[in-house]
Amino acid sequence: MGFKEEIEKRKTFAIISHPDAGKTTLTENLLLFGGAIREAGVVKGRKTGKFATSDWMKVEQERGISVTSSVMQFDFDGYKINILDTPGHEDFSEDTYRTLMAVDSAVMVIDAAEGIEPQTLKLFKVAKMRGIPVFTFINKLDRMGKEPFELLEEIEETLDIETYPMTWPVGMGPSFFGVINRRKREINPYREDEPLKFNEFYELETPHKIEEDVAYQTAMEEFMLVEEAGDQFDEEKIARGDLTPVFFGSALASFGIAEFLDTFVDFAPSPKANETKNGGIVEPTDKEFSGFIFKIQANMDPRHRDRIAFMRIVSGEFERGMDLTLQRTGKKSKISRATMFMADSTKTLDHAYAGDIIGLYDTGTYQIGDTLTSSKHIEYVDLPQFTPELFVKVSAKNVMKQKHFYKGIEQLVQEGAIQYYKTIHTNQPILGAVGQLQFEVFEHRMKNEYNTDVIMEPIGKKIARWIENEDVITDAMSTTRSTLVDDRYGNKVFLFENEFALRWFQDKYPVVKLYSLL
């Protein structure tokens, strides 16, 4: 197969949802349908010691949440599909934001009973901002939930996007019979093997007892209304992110997944072009290799102190042993160890193409946002950082473990989940985060991965502001209400007590130019 054909085969997407909508279960079933795993349902198997393929961290297994982004590849219908399973918890929205910069489309999972929830809305806005196609899977149809029309209306009004149901449910909860497959003109039954075929007038070709059921009659009336009055299918609108194909099913029961996958591979985009810092455009089919680091994860295998930098390949072909330049430092190095993620296993990589997500073994060389390339002329735009809102002072409980303490902080900060600061004169370490759960995960990982108990002293919410013109800063400006600290790069940052303290400072020192991150 040729170079361009290999790239066309790649479909790379992220799954976004509110916690508990069924995102991890859907991920697992996609892997099952792609033949990457042999057994689904391990999300529910916590008592048996089996856990969701994409929930590898112990704190995730214990609490049943996803707090990291996992990457998995599988084959389906001749395509190479890369799934990025994003954190479901809102405290890790920064990680999800960066993940969405590394994909070409997104799948939005919605709980049929809950509809659009706050975290779904936040993540959808990021996908919308990037202009990437969004496919919608409405989950848990085997339980009672909102009516299909109500769900579609909620999606359209809340998210400002048109909908096109690719399937339509027949019944719900105890009366759930299956879904009408719009493309194939058939009903895929929930508990029967053979689909029920329609003729051109949407009458069943072979009589079936379901025709006497009220749920079936209601579903057919609704479906015909969708056919006549609903939004038209428009491939260009899907590509722009202005129309979302909608699927109904039950991830836990592995139902509705095949219908989704069949449509997804037909209409999800192959790898797209990326913009560089100087405004240039790099096409995936460009021969020069390039990619960017969007995630760093330490200790994925507790038996080995490994550290993986996740790279999205933007252009060209990766070959093991190739020389790549890290643009931030200008240093060239041979990439002799790279890995591909195949469900719950990894394999050493010899070749990969634009659109693939690969793991580079890292000894502390890489940072989030780094560009690696075989050309000296390509450097991609920086990935965004969020301004943290919560802050804690942190120290090692055992002073004899300072070495482990600082090594753990350094590695976990480089992953991007928490931010590191220190006071100007005393060098007191301070951590900043978007949400409280990030501190809990930090404490858990310091204990379990670096054998270090930590003491965390909350100092509450602060308003962090960076300084454009640091040369005008004096020690007198640092007070209890406007604490001056250094960030991990040595930049000066003010931590203001509240909005009043920020306004007071700006009035007193108008010469100081402050700014925030995202």
Is 78 annotated to bind ligand?
no
Is 173 annotated to bind ligand?
no
Is 169 annotated to bind ligand?
no
Residue 299's pLDDT band (cuts 50, 70, 90) = low
Is 332 annotated to bind ligand?
no
Per residue in 251-282, pLDDT (tens digit) is 989 899 999 999 999 999 999 999 999 888 99
Is 142 annotated to bind ligand?
yes
Is 17 annotated to bind ligand?
yes
Whether 379 maps to a domain, the answer reads no
Are 263 and 278 members of one domain?
A: no
- Among 267, 282, 307, the domain-final residue is 267
Whether 251 maps to a domain, the answer reads yes
Output the pLDDT for position 300: 57
Is 87 annotated to bind ligand?
yes
Is 453 annotated to bind ligand?
no
Output the pLDDT for position 271: 96
Residue 45: Cβ within 10 Å count: 12
Report whether pLDDT(57) > 70.
no
Is 23 annotated to bind ligand?
yes
Q: What pTM, to 2 d.p., does this model score?
A: 0.81
Whether 347 maps to a domain, the answer reads yes
Are 351 and 431 members of one domain?
A: no
Whether 330 maps to a domain, the answer reads yes
Report whether pLDDT(24) > 60.
yes
Is 86 annotated to bind ligand?
yes
DSSP string for 458-483:
EEEE-EEEEES-GGG--GGG--SSEE
Is 22 annotated to bind ligand?
yes
3-state secondary structure of 235: helix
Residue 382: Cβ within 10 Å count: 12
Report whether pLDDT(216) > 90.
yes
Whether 383 maps to a domain, the answer reads no
Output the pLDDT for position 382: 83
Residue 440's pLDDT band (cuts 50, 70, 90) = confident
Q: How far apart are CA 3 and CA 311, in angstroms?
A: 19
Is 351 annotated to bind ligand?
no
Number of domains in the chain: 3
Q: Where residue 437 sits, what CATH number does that domain have?
A: 3.30.70.3280
Per residue in 477-511, pLDDT (tens digit) is 999 999 999 999 899 999 999 999 999 999 999 99
Is 88 annotated to bind ligand?
yes
Query: Per residue, what are the HEC states of 71-108?
Result: EEEEEECCEEEEEEECCCCHHHHHHHHHHHCCCCEEEE
Report whether pLDDT(46) > 60.
no
Are 235 and 331 members of one domain?
A: no
Are 420 and 452 members of one domain?
A: yes
Are 241 and 326 members of one domain?
A: no
Is 291 annotated to bind ligand?
no
Whether 385 maps to a domain, the answer reads no
Are 297 and 399 members of one domain?
A: no
Work out the angle between the directed axes of helices 93-100 and 118-130 (0-180°, nearest 10).
Answer: 30
Are 354 and 422 members of one domain?
A: no
Report whether pLDDT(51) > 70.
no
Are 159 and 210 members of one domain?
A: yes
Is 82 annotated to bind ligand?
no
Whether 137 maps to a domain, the answer reads yes
Is 18 annotated to bind ligand?
yes
Whether 20 maps to a domain, the answer reads yes
Look at the chain and count its residues.
Answer: 518
Are 114 and 161 members of one domain?
A: yes
- Alpha carbon dihedral 501, 507, 513, 514, in 10-degree steps, equals 20
- Among 233, 267, 301, the domain-final residue is 267
Mean pLDDT across 303-316? 82
Q: Where residue 358 sits, what CATH number does that domain have?
A: 3.40.50.300
Residue carrying the six token digits 């139902």? 255
Are 196 and 247 members of one domain?
A: yes
Residue 343: domain span: 274-373
Are 71 and 164 members of one domain?
A: yes
- Among 373, 407, 437, the domain-final residue is 373
Are 257 and 304 members of one domain?
A: no
The single-letter code of the amino acid at 154 is: E
Output the pLDDT for position 289: 95
- Are 109 and 244 in contact, with CB atoms under 8 Å apart? no
Q: How far apart are CA 272 and CA 293, in angstroms?
A: 17
Sheet with 178-181: list strands edge to edge.
167-170, 178-181, 186-189, 196-197
Is 426 annotated to bind ligand?
no
